[in-house]
Amino acid sequence: MTSTALRDVTRRQPGQERQPFLEVLDLHVHFPTDDGLVKSVDGLSFSVERGRTLGIVGESGSGKSVTSLAIMGLHYRRASERSRPGARLGGEILLDGEDLLSKSPEYVRSLRGKRMAMIFQDPLSAMNPYYTVGRQIIEAYQIHNEVNAKVARKHAVDMLGRVGIPEPSHRIDSYPHQFSGGMRQRAMIAMALSCDPELLIADEPTTALDVTVQAQILDLIRDLQREFNSSVILITHDLGVVAELADDVLVMYAGRAAEYGSADQLFNRPAHPYTWGLLGSVPRFDRPQDERLLAIPGSPPSLIHVPPGCPFHPRCAYAARNEGRSEESRPELTPIEPGHFVACHLSPTDRAQIWADEIAPRL
């Protein structure tokens, strides 16, 4: 795809000139292994504006976490490090117009914490068990702000209080193992937010939590985003969480974008058969449902042997309608309405007909 065509995707609305805060263009992340080249991310483009939340949805192995680690600069790129083969990255990751992939690791590290920060899925492995929670927050704050220990500690207490930790001035000296799962997750969010990052990446931030705690955490992310006008990337497999929090949604399959649009477009006018499958696979919580779930047959493909053409075609019920194009050529992300893109060979008439006859009545 040409770079202007890619920009049509990331700029979303036709004719938009303004540079989005984060713009990812034709990102590739490949890992050489003994079994072959693992193409975890293979030509992905998207953007996030300031103050907006992008939800990235997909199943295990769709490349959503690999994408977030690439943005944060956390992939080992040199083969010598830690004796594992380096990741091969290609494309562009533009943070406020600056291509992170062409910068040195030291420079990208200086951006972490202040310009971009990440909430990981598993707080127990993301925190150092030897240091108190407070010390870990203070460390990050002092790197980016020239303040003395007293001020930094006061800030850390404030942050812990903001995320709802009871008695923060007392709990700041606790170790991670002394916190419950929900408190640990909140402490990690406090750590990620301690320098008011402009871009916050939350990788499955609530997957390990109970629903009542999940609701607290989602409220927290929403409130803090409003306050700081940050960009948020929310990575999850839970479509309910996406529907609650995201402004825009990117559906990933086998390292590529299947569908990209606003939350309203994705949930109310989904266009890709994979998105239909995801929505049909989730039982409705808010109403009784007697029909069977619309499960997607088969399992996600191996990223070493990605099916040729459309990677979803072996599992797609409608691939046969495209006269072999699904098996032969890879569908590009093309607009079907302003700001709504889909990578699928179905013709607009076929798609509209399938949606109206088979999918919409069952969702």
Partner 1 sequence: MTAPLREPASGGAEQDTTLVSVEGLVKHFPIRAGLFRRQVGAVQAVDGVNFSVRQKETFSIVGESGCGKSTTARLLTRLLEPTEGTITLEGRDITHLKDTALRPLRREMQMIFQDPYSSLNPRHTVGKIVGAPYRLQHVSPPGGVKKSVQELLEAVGLNPEHYNRYPHEFSGGQRQRIGIARTLALRPRLIVADEPVSALDVSIQAQVINLLEDLQEEFDLTYVIIAHDLSVVRYVSDRVAVMYLGKIVELADADALYSAPMHPYTVALMSAVPVADTRRRDERERIRLSGDVPSPINPPPACRFHTRCWKAQEICRIEEPPLAELVSGHRVACHFPENLPSEVAGAAAR
Q: What does the radius of gyration of the chain's CA atoms come to, in whole angstroms?
A: 21
CB 7, min distance to partner 1, A = 27
CB-neighbour burial class of residue 33 (10 A; exposed 0-12, middle 13-18, buried 19+): exposed
Question: Is 161 or 181 the residue whose CB approaches partner 1 more closely?
Answer: 181
Residue 177 within binding range of partner 1, rule CB under 8 A: no
CA pair distance 51, 230, nearest whole angstrom: 5
Asked if 361 interacts with partner 1 (CB under 8 A), we say no
Number of residues that bind partner 1 (CB under 8 A): 51
Q: How many other C-beta atoms lie within 10 A of the C-beta of residue 18?
A: 8
How far is the CA of 236 from the CAs of 41, 204, 272, in angstroms?
17, 5, 18
- Selected from 134, 182, 261, 331, the binder of partner 1 by CB under 8 A is 182
**Least CB distance from residue 278 to partner 1, whole Å?**
6
Is 69 an interacting residue with respect to partner 1 (CB under 8 A)? no
Lookup: tokens for 124: 């127990």
Q: Which residues contact 249 (CB under 8 A, 6 or more apart)?
A: 54, 55, 56, 57, 242, 259, 260, 261, 262, 263, 266, 267
CA proximity to 310, closest of 293, 286, 282, 333: 333
**Using rule CB under 8 A, residue 360 touches partner 1:** no
Cβ-based nearer residue to partner 1, 186 or 351: 186
Residue with tokens 């680690």: 69
Distance CA 233, CA 68 (A): 8
User: Rounded to whole angstroms, how far apart are CA atoms 351 and 363?
Assistant: 16
Nearer to partner 1, 116 or 183 (CB): 183
The answer to whether residue 307 forms part of the interface with partner 1 (CB under 8 A) is no
Cα-based distances in Å from 316 to 158, 181, 311, 322: 51, 39, 10, 11
Considering beta carbons, is residue 219 or 328 the nearer one to partner 1? 219
Residue 34 binds to partner 1 (criterion: CB under 8 A): no
* Residue choice 128, 178, 289, 347 for contact with partner 1 (CB under 8 A): 289
**In Å, what is the CA distance from 197 to each residue of 100, 118, 191, 193?**
16, 9, 10, 6
The two structure tokens encoding residue 306 = 């990605």
Q: Which is nearer to partner 1, 37 or 293 (CB)?
A: 293
Q: Does 293 bind partner 1 (CB under 8 A)?
A: yes
284 binds partner 1 (CB under 8 A): yes
Structure tokens at 63: 């490349």
Q: Tell whether residue 311 is a contact of partner 1 (CB under 8 A).
A: no
Evaluate whether 207 touches 236 at the Cβ level (below 8 Å): yes
Q: Smallest distance from the beta carbon of 234 to partner 1, in angstroms?
A: 12
Pairing of strands 53-57, 231-236: parallel
Residue 121 makes contact with partner 1 by CB under 8 A: no
Least distance from partner 1 to the Cβ atom of residue 269, Å: 11
What count of other Cβ atoms lies within 10 Å of the Cβ of residue 210? Answer: 11
Among 96, 139, 196, 238, contact with partner 1 (rule: CB under 8 A): 238
Binds partner 1 (CB under 8 A): choice among 216, 306, 330, 354? 216
Out of 14, 15, 97, 283, which residue is the one contacting partner 1 (CB under 8 A)? 283
Q: Which of 37, 79, 282, 304 binds partner 1 (CB under 8 A)?
A: 282
Q: Which two tokens stand for residue 121?
A: 């899925």
Q: How far is the CB of 289 from partner 1 (least distance, A)?
A: 6
Stretch that binds partner 1, among 19-27, 67-75, 187-195, 209-217 (CB under 8 A): 209-217
Q: Which is nearer to partner 1, 60 or 83 (CB)?
A: 60
Sketch the per residue contact string, 262 through 281, with partner 1: x for CB under 8 A, - otherwise.
-xx--xx--------xxxxx
How far, in Å, CA of 342 to CA of 251, rounded?
A: 9
- Per CB under 8 A, residues contacting partner 1 are 59-60, 164, 166, 180-183, 210-216, 218-219, 237-244, 263-264, 267-268, 277-286, 288-297, 299-300
